[in-house]
Amino acid sequence: MIIELGHFALILAFLIAIVQAVVPLIGAHKHWYGWMAVAEPAAKMQFLFTAFAFAALTYAFVTSDFSLRLVWLNSHSAKPMLYKISGVWGNHEGSMLLWVLILTLFGASAAWFGENLPPTLRARVLAIQSAVAVAFFAFILFTSNPFLRLAVPPFDGQDLNPLLQDPGLAFHPPFLYLGYVGLSMAFSFAVAALLEGRVDAAWARWVRPWTLAAWVFLTIGIGLGSWWAYYELGWGGFWFWDPVENASFMPWLLAAALLHSAIVVEKRESLKSWTILLAILAFGFSLIGTFIVRSGLLTSVHAFANDPERGVFILMILAFFTGGALILFAMRASVMEAKGVFSVVSRESALVSNNILLAVSCFVVFVGTLWPMFSEMFFDRKLSVGPPFFNMAFTPFMIVLGLILPIGSTLAWKRGKIGQAAYQMRYVFGLALALALLVWVMQTGRSLMGPIGLFLGAWMVLGAALDLWMRAQRKWNRLLRLPRADWGKSVAHGGLGVTMFGIAGLLAWQVEDIRVAKIDEPFTVGQFELELKGVDRVEGPNYLSTMGNVVLRRDGVELAVLNPEKRNYPVAKMPTTEAAIDYRFLRDVYVVIGDPQQGGGWTLRTYIKPLANWIWAGTLLMALGGFLSLSDRRFRVAAGARRRRQAQVPAE
């Protein structure tokens, strides 16, 4: 019963979305206020109905209702509760429902928080947002309906893919979707501004918090996914340049560019058409990402044929919205006249360089990701583009970005002096260089990656700190009274530095050891001594585990007992490896157990991973910086102003 109600609620939300996409748009065009006013209640209702549909599906998973096809395919009664819930979005249909739930959530938030937007702009934004929702409701209802029943319900389900039964991955998709879909707000604002024919500082100020929120969520989502890959996949890689990862990375790069170019629109009324274009492209890349993942086009060219209907549907959505917005852009971009005047050496120019580097690096990732397909289609060459390409073609952009960031972020607006900005940074530069040289002398015969990365990381972290210190005019008591946006900027920039630090450390100085370990025979890896004490068979809730018992020592002192596991999930018929990791500030020791060997002993793989945690600490700092900036009072001022105005309105 609840399932059918959920299904019905989803159809109702679809119908409301159609109305909301059409009526306010006409109202805004004709200046009919009644028609425009339809948008807000519709947006809120649409969200509530979708939320009900999602709750109904969650209920089916929690109660293990195997009469629902989706539950039967992706759940099992013995599965822990956390994974019953995360199983809702651990499959195509459910994850699309989550996608559209977040889409309507953003629409409803715009209705809730957008009360001081000009009425026509608000109506248009909500209508565009709803038009995107219409497309995805149709996609779910016609090609990927999660509410289909089975005529004969089986006794138990087929279990969720064991790789997904993990806390890191349980929360990875919601964050990622909040980011992806959050960019739809920037898109709606951009298209609405094109329809209105004007972009000004106020517009940029409304768009920035949405973009910032989307970017923060995307950062957390990508970070979680990468952390999960690190501890779950069994060899401690954190980024594989896989098409699916690239699909989330491209919108992240463009969202980062958009954040920065919107600052220029807000402060200086320039870069307007570029910012609009970025907003369209950022959401376009979100859609491309969805397309890549759902169609299976890039995971394998042949998987596309498995599900042509869904792939073609998303391709049509992509072509309609991105193509339509770009045509509109081509027609209307000329009306957006830049106002600000500034010199070639200025903060504005630094932000333009930031945008060029981020957008071009995104382009490199895009070309690299799609090249195997292009190449096969047009040149009849079947080839691969893997991590070695991306490392070579992408990294230089990040190095240049890291080099100019500390200087660029302290340049003055309008007319800056590069000599002055560089001079202020002389101690930071010297310190970072000294660190790199020290490390270079200490390491012998290893790649230059380590020292270079360490230099960049230190340069950016110290540069961000100095930036903050100078903003506070070198006084401690002013430091805490700085606007949170200043703190946000420095924390996020420092976070990027910390991540670069971690990546350089991990890539340059990792130590790996592969051997057959005999029970009670200690061996050394780097400065550590490890000893396999025994191997046990352990039974989990829905898996069987082979669990090693490894003692980690350094200089004879026991540091930790590590329990690497190999799990076997009998229902899903899939094994997983669970690495055991001793997390420390400066390094991780990472142990994976393999198969038993003839003649006794087990395959044991040990890695020492220097600075591994710094990668995700930096990611968290970037997200924290975003949140700090988001909580700056100028973004809340609008709400306060609204309350004051309402108070002044006399009773009628």
Partner 1 sequence: MKHAFAVILMLTALPLSAVQPDEVLDDPVLEQRARELSKGLRCLVCQNESIDESEAPLARDLRLLVRDRLVVGDSDDEAIAFIVDRYGEYVLLRPTVTGSNWLLWAAGPLMLFLAGGVGFGYLRTRQSADEPDVIALSDTEKNRLAELLKDE
Q: How far is the CB of 101 from partner 1 (least distance, A)?
A: 14
Phi, psi of 298 (to 5 degrees): -100, -25
Minimum gap (Å) between residue 162 Cβ and partner 1: 10
**Encoded tokens for 314:** 């998303």
Judged by CB under 8 A, the chain residues 563 through 602 that form the site for partner 1 are 574-575, 577, 592, 594-595, 597
Query: In this chain, which of 289, 457, 494, 548 binds partner 1, going by CB under 8 A?
Result: 289
> 68 pairs with which residues across the strands?
149
Among 58, 184, 270, 606, binds partner 1 (CB under 8 A): 270
253: nearest Cα among 288, 305, 304: 288
* Sole binder of partner 1 in the list 363, 440, 469, 627 (CB under 8 A): 363
d(CA 620, CA 63): 35
- Closest contact distance (angstroms) between CB of 438 and partner 1 is 26
CB of 366 to partner 1, least distance (A): 9
Strand partners, 610: 587
User: Which span (100-108, 147-155, 367-375, 454-462) binds partner 1, by CB under 8 A?
Assistant: 367-375
How many residues at the interface with partner 1, by CB under 8 A?
A: 91
Site residues (CB under 8 A) for partner 1, limited to 368-397: 368, 371, 375, 378-379, 381-389, 392-394, 397
Question: How far is residue 212 from each of residues 198, 207, 398, 469, 629, measured CA to CA in Å?
Answer: 22, 9, 21, 24, 8
By CB under 8 A, is residue 115 in contact with partner 1?
no
Question: Of residues 235, 423, 427, 583, which one binds partner 1 by CB under 8 A?
Answer: 235
- Of 55, 158, 200, 443, which one interacts with partner 1 (CB under 8 A)? 200
> What CA–CA distance (Å, rounded) separates 282 from 273?
14
Could you tell me which stretch among 31-39, 119-127, 158-166, 183-191 binds partner 1 (CB under 8 A)?
158-166
Amino acid letter for position 295: S
**What is the spatial distance between Cα 240 and Cα 249, in angstroms, rounded to a whole number?**
12
Query: How far, in Å, CA of 602 to CA of 597, rounded?
Result: 5
Of residues 543-562, those binding partner 1 (CB under 8 A): none
Site for partner 1 (CB under 8 A): which residue of 4, 156, 167, 300? 300
Q: Smallest distance, Å, CB 235 to partner 1?
A: 6
* 56-64, 106-114, 197-205, 456-464 -> range binding partner 1 (CB under 8 A): 197-205
Radius of gyration of the chain measured on its C-alpha atoms: 27
Q: Which stretch binds partner 1 (CB under 8 A): 195-203, 326-334, 493-501, 526-534?
A: 195-203
Number of C-beta neighbours around residue 496 at 10 A:
24
Check residue 173 for interaction with partner 1 (CB under 8 A).
Answer: yes
SS3 state of residue 587: strand
d(CA 583, CA 616): 12
Nearer to partner 1, 168 or 540 (CB): 168
Cα 27 → chain centroid: 36
C-alpha distances (whole Å) from 480 to each of 101, 425, 468, 469, 486 are 38, 22, 10, 10, 10
| Nearest-angstrom CA–CA distance, 115 and 44 | 13
Look up residue 477 and give its two tokens. Answer: 């008591």
Residues in region 606-645 near partner 1 by CB under 8 A = 633-634, 637-638, 641
Asked if 25 and 42 count as a contact pair (C-beta separation under 8 A), the reply is no
**Both structure tokens of 22:** 């059409």
Least distance (Å) between residue 8 CB and partner 1? 26
Residue 67 interacts with partner 1 (CB under 8 A): yes or no: no
198 interacts with partner 1 by CB under 8 A: yes
CB of 459 to partner 1, least distance (A): 22
C-beta closer to partner 1: residue 42 or 121 = 121
